[in-house]
Amino acid sequence: MSQFKELAIQGLWKNNPGLVQLLGLCPLLAVTATITNALGLGAATLLVLLGSNVAVSMVRNHVASEIRIPVFVLIIASLVTVVQLLMNAYTFGLYQSLGIFIPLIVTNCAIIGRAEAFASKNAVLPSAIDAIMMGLGFMLVLTVLGAAREILGQGTLFDGADLLLGSWAKVLRIELFSVDSHFLLAMLPPGAFLGMGLIIALKNTIDSKLKQKEAVAKGSIARARVTGAAQ
Amino acid sequence: MIRAISKNALALGVVAVLCVAILSLVHIQTEPRIEQQRQASKIAILSEVLPSVEANQALLQDCIQVTDQALLGRSSPQALYRWRKDGQLAAYLIETTAPDGYSGNIDLIVAVTPEGTILGTRILNHQETPGLGDKIEARRSPWIFSFNDKTVTDNNASKWAVRKDGGDFDQFTGATITPRAVINAVRKATLFIQQHPELATQPANCPKQ
């Protein structure tokens, strides 16, 4: 049980693929203009990650280490194509609005990174859990960034959710405020960079606060300023 | 050495064959559904520009390819659908492109009667600035409906412009280039229809979609 807890903490917080490993930044920055797109791409990435981790973990003892990278790439590329075909068939509107970023999941280093760093060395179940946690961590960052940009940019939440979930989801759309001219910076790519930077800064602040608290609880002296050790 | 290499090569080959098999299976399974979705989304767009008409398969089939870079904005063929009511040609639905948008091409579809009255128009594809130029989309602003029932004649060319240029159409605050491009594209597509009366009788020749 403690291993699962550790995996969850690693994927969602300590080693979050979006915030700490900074992998997959291209889709992360490009599609987060609305929360719907963010959730759609997050779910697709999670699915591919889960499939690839399970498959890689299953073949890990049968594949010689010289050819493991091409095998991983083959597995990941096939999975992405499968997800692409399924999205094209069942969520056509979302498929069109995500466009090129679905096939680009292949190049998301978070996926081959987990295959190489975790799944190739662990059994199927922990690999699957690692994939789910890492995928959720990535999805979480996408969603937070998407929500922030959508609120700031056009004052709505879940705009176009029907593309992802079917026409009933039109009721999910929340109009927080309506403005004549949108806040362009939030909707264009520079806004994504700024938002991403702020989220990383927030995470680092929380981490350092936690560390300080821990140090105080342990009874060690919390120094106001720590100078480097003398050479 | 040779043994290890050939063993690895064989293993890679087996994985590749397996992946191809899975992909083919999924492809065969999803192909009809994807085709259906594509047609449904096309029909949905066609019925949006043809008010109070149920667009159907027959309309999608009655399609010819046309090319005119000067009036339709593209050097490649574009689709033109013919809508017949009781056997009479009632409207053309023509795909056209505004090559002079603020950032890249704007693709539209225009429904127009053979005489040159606009029934409706919609944007298919664009990369205009979100929040400024994207008011040409029907879901963001009713602007695109201002084309309905407008007519292109020989002597009203000056009315086909934004108000700033002395025309009949509103511009957007902060974005004049985008509506200008769309207005021009719609007018030119209508001119194309008026200049080619032979379009009514050409045999349908669109590749099967």
Distances (CA, A) of A87 to A27, A76, A91, B51, B139: 17, 16, 5, 30, 23
pLDDT at A99: 75
pLDDT at A53: 95
Minimum mean pLDDT among A113-117, A182-186, B176-180: which range? A182-186
The yes-or-no verdict on residue A220 having pLDDT over 90 is no
Band (pLDDT 50/70/90 cuts) for residue A183 is confident
Give which of A199, A192, A200, A193 is closest to A149, Cα–Cα: A192
Band (pLDDT 50/70/90 cuts) for residue A143 is very high
Interface check A189 vs B, CB under 8 A: no
More confident residue, A208 or A178: A208
Q: How many domains does chain B have?
A: 1
Could you tell me what percentage of chain B is helix, strand and coil, using 3-state DSSP and rounding each to the nearest 5?
45, 25, 30
Interface check B14 vs A, CB under 8 A: no
Query: What does the mean pLDDT of chain A come to?
Result: 86
When pLDDT is averaged across residues A69-94 and rounded to a whole number, the result is: 91
- Where in the sequence is the domain holding B151, given as residue range(s)? 1-209
When pLDDT is averaged across residues B127-152 and rounded to a whole number, the result is: 86
Per residue in B81-127, pLDDT tens?
A: 988 887 788 889 999 999 999 988 999 999 999 888 999 999 988 88
If contacts are CB pairs under 8 Å, which of residues 76-135 in chain A contact chain B?
77-78, 81-82, 85-86, 88-90, 92-93, 96
The yes-or-no verdict on residue A196 having pLDDT over 90 is yes
Contacts of A123 (CB under 8 A, 6+ apart): A57
Tokens of A167: 């026409």
d(CA B185, nearest CA chain A) in Å: 24
pLDDT at B134: 82
When pLDDT is averaged across residues B181-195 and rounded to a whole number, the result is: 93
Per residue in B2-61, pLDDT tens?
A: 888 899 999 899 999 999 999 999 999 999 999 898 888 888 888 888 876 776 777 888
